Structure 1
Amino acid sequence: MHGYGHLGLFQCIVIKQATVDKAVVVLRLDKDSGRRI
């Protein structure tokens, strides 16, 4: 985070959000299909 300023913070937020979205999608697929990925 140090030395990147607002851009670094923004990128961290975007990456975290994308990771959360991916996890949610995987969990939904896991529920729907009934098998573990």
Structure 2
Amino acid sequence: VRIQKCFKRYIARKSYLDLPSSAITLQTGLRAMKARD
């Protein structure tokens, strides 16, 4: 749960800084999390 919270905060900051690629960042992040599991 803690990892997810940090991840969401990271995505929020990343998407705030780079809005157009936020969707790409999210997809990449989700893929990375699946790979880690």
Matched pairs, number: 22
Unaligned runs of 5+ in 1: 1-15
RMSD (Å), alpha carbons: 1.0
Query: Please, what TM-score do these two structures have when normalized by structure 2?
Result: 0.51
1:28 maps to amino acid: R
Query: Please, what TM-score do these two structures have when normalized by structure 1?
Result: 0.51
Tell which structure's C-alpha radius of gyration is larger.
1
1:18 maps to amino acid: I
Greater relative CO (CA pairs within 8 A, separation 6+): 2
Unaligned runs of 5+ in 2: 24-37
Runs of 4+ in 1 over 2 A off after TM superposition: none
**Between the two proteins, what is the percent identity of the paired residues?**
5
